[in-house]
Structure 1
Amino acid sequence: MSEQVHRFSPENMHRLDAPERQKLMPSKQLLDMVLQTQDTVVDLGAGTGYFSIPAAQMTNGTVYAVDVEPKLLEVIQERAEEKGLSNIIPITGVIEDIPLQDSMADVVIASLVLHAVRPLSHSLREIHRIMKNEGKLLCLDFEPKESPMGPPMNLRIASEDMTNALNAAGFTVTKRMYPSEFLYVFVAEKPGF
């Protein structure tokens, strides 16, 4: 991949758990839209476990917390231990080359990370690869509109462009939500055969 990739700095990890995020993106409510009690989950760009921890509480399956930053994965491991959760597996890796086998995930979470990968089409094909048929993708990202949080404007992906990219990668968008004018939430499915 020759393009510049934007990575989140672990020095800013306090932002990942800010109360404003929970108000805009209530993790358990969003997970309720996609998660069943036996699902295997992959949380891409897992950060400090914003989705990994509640997902592990909601499923008896395994939650793979994937992040490029080992310091953030250590935080997830500590939080999982504090909560007595044994079904989270932290994995150091990147979305452009997900270190997991084909067709293993029932649910993939890509929360506020796809704007950081280049090219987007390659990463979406990687997500498609690791998902089971009829698996669900929970995708949250930023519209290119002014906002009190989020990446630089030039990195943001408009919801229409994200829809087109998901369709091109073989997904079907089944649900769209707009919690604010600068944030969108999609549920996309990998069709079964």
Structure 2
Amino acid sequence: MSDRFQNTAQPDRDWWEQLWPGPERVVERLGVEPGDRVVDVCAGDGLFTLALAERTDGAVYAVDIDAGLLASVSERAGERGLAVETIRADARDLGDALPVPVEFALLANTFHGISEQEAFAETVREVLTDDGRFAVVNWRDRPRAETTVLGEERGPPTERRMSAEATLEVCAAAGFTLDEVVDLPPYHYGAVFRPEP
């Protein structure tokens, strides 16, 4: 998987939670609606998965290839009384992994490291409903030295970072139109797309 998803390892929880103290506000700003069926693609240990589950009463799917991380998602969801279905699968196989189409797909902090990004975005488009949304949360294309958390440089290498315009270009080629770009301080943006009719 390392050659297909580069620089996308799960961060240490201490600085991750420092960077994202309010994940529920993030998913709200990205436009998740209370009845949406949602998938957190490359969910990791579920920081955003749990926020999605708190936001919607629709089905919530956490997809990741790492069984240990998915076990953490299940445990933490259970502790909070949240319904989350974990699915161990390569994110490129979403069409086979998900039991139903979803209204919202979230990909956070991973797009920069995916090889064949256009093909990957096409895979996501195939699992969305006609009125679905695809939200890509990315580190802004600032030098890594300028994105510090708890006093240390964090995030992907500078050369891997993508501007909102670069993300738009890839997703447009995959059949999406831009709905909006949301500023997610201090270091991120969220680009929300809809499938072209």
> Residue in 1 aligned with 2:137?
140
> Residue in 1 aligned with 2:25?
29
> Which letter maps to 2:90?
V
Counterpart CA distance in 1 for 2:38 and 2:54 is: 12
For the Cα contact (< 8 Å) 2:134–2:192, is it kept in 1? yes
For the Cα contact (< 8 Å) 1:114–1:141, is it kept in 2? yes
- Superposition deviation, residue 156 in structure 1: 2.0
Post-superposition CA distance 1:7-55 (Å, at most 9, x none): 5445x44257422222xxx322222242222211010111111111121
Q: Give me the TM-score of the superposition, normalised by structure 1.
A: 0.85
Post-superposition CA distance 1:54-95 (Å, at most 9, x none): 21122121111011211111110000110112x211111222
Q: Report percent identity of matched pairs.
A: 22
Change (3 A) 1:160 1:181: farther
Structure 1: stretches of 5+ with no match in the other structure: none
> Residue in 2 aligned with 1:58?
55
Aligned length: 187
> Residue in 2 aligned with 1:82?
79
Structure 2: stretches of 5+ with no match in the other structure: 149-153
Q: Secondary structure at the match of 1:64?
A: strand
Residue in structure 1 matching 2:180, options 165, 172, 175: 175
> Which letter maps to 2:5?
V
For the Cα contact (< 8 Å) 2:63–2:86, is it kept in 1? yes
Q: Give me the TM-score of the superposition, normalised by structure 2.
A: 0.84
Counterpart CA distance in 2 for 1:4 and 1:125 is: 16
Counterpart CA distance in 1 for 2:191 and 2:159 is: 21
Structure 2 residue 96 is matched with structure 1 residue 91 = no
> Residue in 2 aligned with 1:184?
189
After TM superposition, the structure 1 = structure 2 runs for residues 120-131 of structure 1, keeping only pairs within 5 Å, are 120-131=117-128
